[in-house]
Homo-oligomer: A and B are copies of this chain.
Amino acid sequence: MHDILIEERILAENDRLAEENREFFRQRGVVAINLISSPGAGKTSLIEKAAPYLDRDGLKFAVIEGDLATDIDSGRIGRLGVPVRQITTGKACHLDAHNISHLLPWVDEQKKLKLLVIENVGNMVCPAEYDLGERMKVTVMSVAEGDDKPLKYPAIFAASAVLVINKTDLLPHTDFSMKAARENALSINPSLKVFETSCRTGQGIEELSRLLCSLAVATGG
């Protein structure tokens, strides 16, 4: 019971900082996306493959990478010429609003920025509870993980606006049922927009990018 009260205090403070971040992004016309998945579902690969589409028509985007350790992912994004910062959380299993607030001066330096993709630590649980000040959460699951994951990790699917079902190229080699996965996800959150993607074949990458671009352009600034 005592633990729960402590957790509520921590989350309330996080929510307060997240609102400050959200107001910062709103004033600058930046759409922030909180990209969430299990370890190895393909978040960084999706950003890599989407980069050419996101960069189109003068739309400027940047990336924040979250990991416990290493700058492997920010290295991959940086090699594309995309502005990127790495947050290493040490033992923390999720990014929080405080992590992001430290990078707001850097965000401010990115002139004409429209889209900020924040790749969270690989975890299907705690990121559901920690608002970063984002416009929306985008959750990625890979077909290798099994079609029952929405039922087992419901909070993250309930909190997300978009679900990306990635690695569809592996479908012939797994027991994954796309029909069951969609039904399970929509039973948790009927308003989820679902995209099927493969970073190997390119399936769905342009459609997903178009959604992100349209959000950014609609926000204007």
Contacts and interface: CB of A to CB of B under 8 A. Distances in A.
A40 interface: yes
Could you say which interface size class chain A belongs to? 35 or more
Interface stretch (A16-24, A66-74, A207-215): A66-74
Interface stretch (A25-33, A50-58, A100-108, A138-146): A138-146
Contacts of A155: 68, 91
Contacts of A125: 68, 91-93, 121, 123
A95 B148 CA distance: 20
Interface stretch (A77-85, A109-117, A165-173, A189-197): A165-173
Contacts of A69: 151-154
Given A144-B144, A144-B170, A93 B152 contact: no
Nearest to A41: B145
A148 B42 CA distance: 12
Nearest to A13: B3
Most buried by B among A39, A68, A128, A151: A39
Contacts of A153: 39, 68-69, 122
A142 B91 contact: no
Nearest to A172: B173
